[in-house]
Amino acid sequence: MTDLFKFLAWPFRLLWRLIDGVRRIAANLVLLFMVAVVLAIIFQPGPSVPKDAVLVVRPSGDIVEQTTLDEPLALLTGHGRPTQTALADLLEAVRAAAKDERIALLVLETDDIESAGLAKFDELRAAIAEFKAAGKPVLARGERYSQGQYYLASIADEVHLSPDGYALLPGFASYSTYFRNALDALGIKIHVFRVGEYKSFVEPFTRNDMSNENRDATRALLEGLWGRLRADIIQARKLTPEQFDGYVHDYYDNLKTARGNTAQVARDGGFVDRLSTRGEWRERQLEKIKETRSGIASGNKEPPRVDVGDYLAAIRAERAHSRSSAHIAILVAQGSIADGDQSPGNTGGDSFARLIREAREDDNVKAVVVRIDSPGGSAWASELIRHELELTRRAGKPVIASMSSVAASGAYWIAASADEIFARTTTITGSIGVFGIFPEFVEPMNRLGLTADGVATTPLAAALDPRLPLSADAANALQLTVEHTYHRFIDLVAEGRKMKAEDVDRIARGRVWTGEEALANGLVDKLGGLDEAIAAAAARANLADYTVTWPVLDANPVQQVLQQLLVSAGVGNVAALKPSPASRIMRQVNDGLDMLALWNDPRHVYTHCLCVAP
């Protein structure tokens, strides 16, 4: 019998040895790959900046305030997040290049940009304008231009377009999906508690259409943003208002005249200077350098190009020895605000409060700039963060708030107590209002033949069980909590902005404002970007020499090392894949579901804005 078992078992032993051998070979290959990458990084010479170079600014994917780490396995399989480019890196490179004699020309290529709020484009345009003011030319090209891409490109001295391209300027629109009929059909009852007639976030659950208050406020907001974009493009392109409006409003007629040639429409309208192929684009760069710099070899077929990543690596290595021990810490509050610890891309009340506390207790940190790009979220988490910033101020360290594309609702709660608040003219802010939302699933359960029954020791024990009808007392309690939080919000803003509570209430009520309007209403101190906020922090801390640092939450060291190795080896998330229209819709749906999953305020009270930066 033993011999029979041995005979029957030998194929399985052979199979196991084969599997184990393959596993060992795979592990050794991965190890050898990592060793090879490490050696390549160690012995690879650092990037250098050649003379008469072209700085190539080609943002990829979403332009964000702070990039987030992908899991190394996701990088290897290509299933990571959409590519991201940090706005701060672009600003640093462009502003340094303006003063760098080695950089002769800035080239802006917009094709890989997926999304960025208008305020981010606005801030990057301002940096490029500074580059131009230094007497250096800027060329821009796109195979085709979306509205945001063109807004960025329009600041260039010369705008190129592919002969088969287009430049679309459709304007801004805001449409929401309303669920009232669907929820009624399913029998789901949504209990909503809010203060502020303009607090529109809950409307999709309670209405079938946009309220008049929301319609008026949204129209005013979009018209303000459109007016700024329109004015900036008119100024940069030296157009008349009639030319701009004719291009936008009469696009079909213009296209009909040009027999469907979209590139010709853009050129004839004065929105682009040249229609160029990729080869002609490269030739034009060399011509432009020869026009502005003497001593360029006539036989050169292409100018030396350096991208933003290599340029930053070079200049950071050059100035590494001069880093000051006095730091200004930039803390980025990005994405929805939720309770507890949150993963990168969102702002956790506990995790971000810990980041602030670490900066406050670091003797090298002399001031803090909170860079905010968030529509808000949990009121509880927002207050935890605001309180830590208040403690930082009391400890004698200045706190400056710098608003990016969106800093509304709970994000404004965070900023309210800062020493100074900076916003771009196109920032979306305000939305000082509060709501609570609670779903009830009694009817859908009844339809399925499900019931809930049991006992409770007090009326509150099962008051927030969605399987049971919400009692009048529980509903009244939630409304009272929302009203209390709203008045708390008003008082915090009044104290921080040195305003009367009734004056804050007049411009609150959930109303959303542009940065320019917020300045007029006293909600921000100055219009400006990150650089202006850093300068204000340095002035308040009496710093003439300082280093800017970007503290981040502790991440898995292995994950950080592996990702850096993979990216350095060219395996990482280095190029943007063009998503299809269907994938864009699915991404929006997925982002919305992810946001709903973050609604974990312990009191079910939120200060969130239904506002997306156009």
d(CA 594, CA 224): 30
Strand partners, 54: 105, 305
Region 498-504: mean pLDDT is 96
- Ranges 9-18, 244-253, 258-267, 381-390: which has the least confidence: 9-18
How does strand 376-378 pair with strand 189-195?
unpaired
d(CA 91, CA 59): 11
Q: Coil, helix or strand for 323?
A: coil
Selecting among 120, 136, 189, 199, the annotated active-site residue is 199
pLDDT surpasses 50 at 105:
yes
The domain locations on the chain are 323-451+462-608
pLDDT surpasses 80 at 351:
yes
51 is catalytic: no
d(CA 186, CA 189): 9
Predicted pLDDT at 593: 46
Over the chain, what is the mean pLDDT? 85
Residue keyed to tokens 């968030």: 374
d(CA 206, CA 192): 8
Predicted pLDDT at 612: 56
pLDDT surpasses 90 at 600:
no
Displacement of CA 162 from its chain's centroid (Å): 29
Residue keyed to tokens 């802010």: 429
Predicted pLDDT at 573: 40
pLDDT grade, residue 574 (50/70/90)?
very low
Region 96-108: mean pLDDT is 96
**Whether 336 contacts 201, CB under 8 Å:** no
Q: pLDDT by residue (tens digit) across 213-239?
A: 999 999 999 999 999 999 999 999 999
Q: Which residue has the higher pLDDT, 28 or 355?
A: 355
Predicted pLDDT at 323: 76
d(CA 134, CA 156): 14
Residues making up the chain, counted from first to last: 614
Predicted pLDDT at 295: 56
Predicted pLDDT at 436: 85
Which secondary structure element, helix H or strand E, spans residue 330, and what is its range? Answer: strand 327-334
**Whether 284 contacts 274, CB under 8 Å:** yes
Q: Is the dihedral of CA 316, 320, 324, 330 positive or negative?
A: positive
pLDDT surpasses 90 at 381:
yes
Q: Which residue has the higher pLDDT, 81 or 465?
A: 465
Q: Percent of the chain scored above 70 by pLDDT?
A: 80
pLDDT grade, residue 202 (50/70/90)?
confident
**Whether 150 contacts 410, CB under 8 Å:** no
Q: Which residues of 220-241 are buried (b: 16+ CB within 10 A; e: fewer)?
A: ebbebbbebbbebbbebbebee
Residue 24: CA count within 13 A, CB half-sphere: 6
- Residue 200 is given by DSSP the state G
d(CA 533, CA 374): 18
Phi, psi of 244 (to 5 degrees): -60, -50
What homologous superfamily is domain 323-451+462-608 in, according to CATH?
A: 2-enoyl-CoA Hydratase; Chain A, domain 1 (3.90.226.10)
**Whether 222 contacts 614, CB under 8 Å:** yes
pLDDT surpasses 80 at 490:
yes
Q: What is the CA radius of gyration of the chain?
A: 28
Q: Which residue has the higher pLDDT, 563 or 452?
A: 452
409 is catalytic: yes
Q: How many CB atoms lie within 10 A of CB 461?
A: 11
Q: How many CB atoms lie within 10 A of CB 30?
A: 11
pLDDT grade, residue 337 (50/70/90)?
very high
Q: Which residues of 321-331 are buried (b: 16+ CB within 10 A; e: fewer)?
A: eeeeebbbbbb
pLDDT surpasses 80 at 525:
yes
**Whether 105 contacts 134, CB under 8 Å:** no
End-to-end CA distance of the chain: 77
Q: How many CB atoms lie within 10 A of CB 270?
A: 15
CA dist list (Å): 69 to 106, 397, 404, 558, 561: 29, 30, 21, 12, 11
Region 76-95: mean pLDDT is 79
CA dist list (Å): 411 to 284, 352, 509: 45, 13, 16
Selecting among 382, 409, 417, 431, the annotated active-site residue is 409
Q: pLDDT by residue (tens digit) across 11-36?
A: 666 666 777 677 677 666 666 666 55
d(CA 240, CA 152): 19
Q: Percent of the chain scored above 90 by pLDDT?
A: 63
pTM, to two decimals: 0.84
**Whether 303 contacts 290, CB under 8 Å:** no
How does strand 103-109 pair with strand 53-57?
parallel
